[in-house]
Amino acid sequence: MSGNAREPRLDTTGRWIGAALPRKEDGRMLRGAGRFVADLDRQGTLHACFVRSPFGAATIAGIDASEALRLPGVRQVCTAAELGSAGLCAALERDEFVPTTMPLLAADQVRYAGEPVAVVLADDPYAAEDGAEAVQVDYSPHPAVADLGAARDGRSVHDALAQNTFVDLTMFDDPRLDQIFDTAPLVLDEEFSSARLAALPMEGRGCLAEWDARDDQVVVHISTQVPHQVRSAIAQALRLPERTIRVIAPDVGGGFGLKCVVGREEVVAAALASRFRTPVKWIEDRQENLTASFHGHEQHYAVRAAFGSDGRILGLAADIRCDVGAYSAFPFTCAVEPLMATTELPGAYKVPAYRARGRAIATNKPPTAPYRGVSRPQLVLVMERLMEIAATRLALDPLEVRRRNLISPGEFPYTGVNDITYDEGSYRESLDRAESTARSAGWYTERDRLRAAGTPAGIGFACFSERTAYGTPTMSQRQMAMTPGYDTAQVRMDPTGEVIVTTGTCGHGQGHETTFAQIVAERLGIHPDQVRLRQGDTDLAAYGWGTFASRSIVIGGTSARRAADGVAAQLRRIAAHLLEADDSDVELNEGMARVRGVPGAVLPIAELANTAYFRAHELPQDTPPNLTASGYADPPSTFSNASHAALISVDPGTGAVRIHRYLVVEDCGVVINPLVVDGQVRGGVAQGIAAALYERLLYDADAQPGTASLMDYLAPTATEVCTVDIEHLQTPSQFNESGAKGMGEGGTIGAPATVLNAVNDALADTGSQLNDIPVLPEKVLTALRRERVPVGG
């Protein structure tokens, strides 16, 4: 790597920001001492198994549980009638949005195969499954709406929806567009699509709900990214005060957005634990996870784009339809995909005129959650394919076309046609670096060598920015009934000078216990080993919004930084008082408080802490007798950016795509821990490769799932993913004082476009163009055969 001034480094102001510390989480995970929800056993637990609809669309004439109740170990069978709750309603306060309710259990109608209609409680999970098999449900199936095409055929998923449309938004409707399309030198009309995906955390969903008679509370241990929203959902669905519910996320085995919405199974478990005053445990199995949880990313784009002869984009219009399944998930609603897509499609490019229509279309499939990237993998794919196609049509270098359109140095902060203001990024620099590395590392030579040997090979690029850390100024534009965005933290220093931080964010693999400790230790002048993060417990932490949308380090981390600054100010004041100096002259570093310029005027921070608690009478006047401070943050948002590149080859016999080299040049502002950043990038790229080449949830015309196991749903293994080289740029955010930008999703966002462009480069001679993901071997093979059989004879 070059000696670019923006290379990540130890922040010169301290020791911990930017340090590649090994993770505090690792020890327990490596010993098998992590505590995931399925690991929790309670005396007298009743195990829940849900009876699920085998039909995509049916009415329920009756449910007979008598046989199930005769089985050994089966204790209860409950249906919608016994639960007495309307269910979960996620709403937008927009006229274009039609609110619907997701019942906790289907009462008279099922809307997807896998929808729960009853729950069996038994002494062990085996007996519960026996019971679920024995429950007789009398269904009258009717034709299902299996896809976007069928959604226009007159059948209805919900009576309340016209043309199965949950929401239909037209944004940024520029009146000049029609004239631009009439007169532009190049107008492209292209369609793009992406398959329905499963987020597929290795730990599925699950919960253990137990009644705590001492505290008069139901305590819900749950694998979630959003504990406070789970509490609010349970409170709203069961009409309980939030005080009577405590939600605790133990170790969470991945989420990727699947666990930032609230499932009805978890609300049912809480309801039954409250009613029967006994622990109720539900652990989702993989079949349920694939067929009955939340999906995402099933989108179709019809795009018209105008370009000048120099490759500059002149106008863009998009019609975006998202197949969001049968219900609107709490709290984000099913509008999260079309809203994101319509608002952010222009991305890193200067689009002078823009119009987008975005729709959320109901089908008889499971509802969708905001799976990693949320519409950005698709919209980046659209923009990056448009740049490539325009360059081909105009006989220009596709990277040069991108450069002519990218928001460039000197133009930040840039406010786009979509009313979004972008803080400074390194869009062009990242692209230049990606190209120069690919050239200097011999990618083009390797591509030519492969081609000469008869193997189709290609190089693909993608350049994009990623809006992260959406605060309420941004989230409120969605007009959700509950607006997420801010977060909170509290820092408490104990009498020995060590610290507990609580936050409303809720990490699940991102290493927050380490990175938050680095942030707080930096501000307090102590060691990260002296800082413990407590998260995921609604009785411990103030209300916060959890971990999703690459928000935690920017919003939670800034909250923690501000809280730590509050405690640091208290420490300085105590030190100044004891050392007879001015607060502003006291520095906190390496566990000591020192008066600047006065050798020997020094006290250990632990001694100040001891004084604050045990000798409070020695504190200066008006200083509170402990060391506690709170902080919150609510930034607008901030943009990280990256350029990706891939070198791929295609097996001419099978059509299989092999990735030889993969490069990411990323810029997430100030890096807290480069190990964690690299891990997020690499894991994200693997999920993006999965979306580009392997994964899709299949449904037939009756909306029956065809991918109910990991033998059918092809998550990539180590041999489908290659080494990912990473280069870093560091443009600090101008929108928050930490300078950090979120970076949890960029890998997943950039990889589908990169791989698809590389495949198209490999197929360039065939005249075929692939715009849909996943690019399965049969599609590649069809394209290759077109080359061999000349069209038109």
Partner 1 sequence: MKDQHLVSLTVNGAEHEIVVEARRTLADVLRHDLGYTGTHLGCEHGICGACTVLLDDQPVRACLVFGVQADGCQIRTVEGLADESELSDLQQAFSDHHGLQCGFCTPGFLMLAEAYLAESDSTADPGQVRTAMASNLCRCTGYQGIVDAVCAVAKQRGKAGSP
* Binding positions for partner 1, rule: CB under 8 A: 22-23, 25-36, 38-39, 41, 72, 126, 200-204, 251-254, 256, 285-286, 508-511, 675-676, 678-679, 682-687, 709-711, 715, 717-719, 721, 723-724, 747
**∠536-540-546 over CA atoms, to 5°?**
30
Count of alpha carbons within 13 angstroms of residue 158, beta-carbon side = 22
Q: Which is nearer to partner 1, 456 or 744 (CB)?
A: 744
Shortest reach from residue 749's CB to partner 1, in Å = 15
CB atoms within 10 A of CB 543: 15
Phi, psi of 567 (to 5 degrees): -70, -40
Shortest reach from residue 283's CB to partner 1, in Å = 8
Shortest reach from residue 441's CB to partner 1, in Å = 17
Shortest reach from residue 143's CB to partner 1, in Å = 31
Residues 6 or more apart in contact with residue 659 via CB below 8 angstroms: 646, 647, 648, 689, 721, 722, 755, 758
Distance CA 436, CA 2 (A): 12
- List the one residue out of 96, 91, 99, 93 whose CA is nearest residue 170: 96
Shortest reach from residue 73's CB to partner 1, in Å = 9
Shortest reach from residue 682's CB to partner 1, in Å = 4
Do 487 and 633 meet the contact criterion of CB atoms below 8 Å apart? yes
**∠653-655-658 over CA atoms, to 5°?**
110
Q: Which is nearer to partner 1, 1 or 711 (CB)?
A: 711
CB atoms within 10 A of CB 394: 17
Bridge partner list, 62: 138
Q: Which is nearer to partner 1, 124 or 448 (CB)?
A: 124
Residues 6 or more apart in contact with residue 155 via CB below 8 angstroms: 57, 142, 143, 144, 145, 164
Shortest reach from residue 295's CB to partner 1, in Å = 15
Shortest reach from residue 430's CB to partner 1, in Å = 20
H or E element: which one contains 629?
Answer: strand 627-633
Q: Which is nearer to partner 1, 592 or 714 (CB)?
A: 714
Shortest reach from residue 251's CB to partner 1, in Å = 7
Q: Which is nearer to partner 1, 178 or 285 (CB)?
A: 285
Q: Which is nearer to partner 1, 32 or 599 (CB)?
A: 32
Shortest reach from residue 723's CB to partner 1, in Å = 6
Shortest reach from residue 368's CB to partner 1, in Å = 18
Distance CA 639, CA 777 (A): 35
Do 24 and 241 meet the contact criterion of CB atoms below 8 Å apart? no
Shortest reach from residue 257's CB to partner 1, in Å = 12
Q: Which is nearer to partner 1, 68 or 568 (CB)?
A: 68
SS3 sequence, 71-94?
A: CCCEEEEEEHHHHCCCCEECCECC
Pairing of strands 88-89, 101-102: antiparallel
Do 319 and 193 meet the contact criterion of CB atoms below 8 Å apart? no
Pairing of strands 627-633, 724-729: unpaired
Q: Which is nearer to partner 1, 210 or 429 (CB)?
A: 210
Residue at 132: amino acid letter: A
Do 282 and 132 meet the contact criterion of CB atoms below 8 Å apart? no
DSSP annotation of 38 reads G
Q: Which is nearer to partner 1, 286 or 357 (CB)?
A: 286
- List the one residue out of 405, 389, 396 whose CA is nearest residue 309: 396
Query: What's the residue count for the chain?
Result: 793
Shortest reach from residue 388's CB to partner 1, in Å = 25
Q: Which is nearer to partner 1, 575 or 642 (CB)?
A: 642
- List the one residue out of 141, 126, 124 whose CA is nearest residue 54: 141
Kindly compute the dihedral angle of the four CA atoms of residues 66, 67, 70, 76, in this order, to the nearest 10 degrees: -50
Q: Which is nearer to partner 1, 285 or 310 (CB)?
A: 285
- List the one residue out of 288, 640, 658, 618 whose CA is nearest residue 430: 640
Q: Residue 626: left if φ>0, alpha if ψ -120 to 50, beta else—which one?
A: beta
Shortest reach from residue 72's CB to partner 1, in Å = 7
Shortest reach from residue 566's CB to partner 1, in Å = 31
Distance CA 381, CA 390 (A): 14
Distance CA 580, CA 758 (A): 67
Both tokens assigned to 782: 């069809």
- Strands in 772-773's sheet, in edge-to-edge order, are 165-171, 354-362, 313-325, 299-307, 186-194, 772-773
Q: Which is nearer to partner 1, 201 or 373 (CB)?
A: 201
Do 626 and 566 meet the contact criterion of CB atoms below 8 Å apart? no
Shortest reach from residue 289's CB to partner 1, in Å = 9
Q: Which is nearer to partner 1, 373 or 416 (CB)?
A: 373
Q: Which is nearer to partner 1, 200 or 322 (CB)?
A: 200
Q: Which is nearer to partner 1, 37 or 58 (CB)?
A: 37
**∠729-462-758 over CA atoms, to 5°?**
130
Q: Which is nearer to partner 1, 59 or 287 (CB)?
A: 287
Shortest reach from residue 683's CB to partner 1, in Å = 5
Bridge partner list, 60: 139
Shortest reach from residue 203's CB to partner 1, in Å = 4
SS3 702: coil
Q: Which is nearer to partner 1, 129 or 539 (CB)?
A: 129
Q: Which is nearer to partner 1, 35 or 142 (CB)?
A: 35
Residues 6 or more apart in contact with residue 409 via CB below 8 angstroms: 428, 429
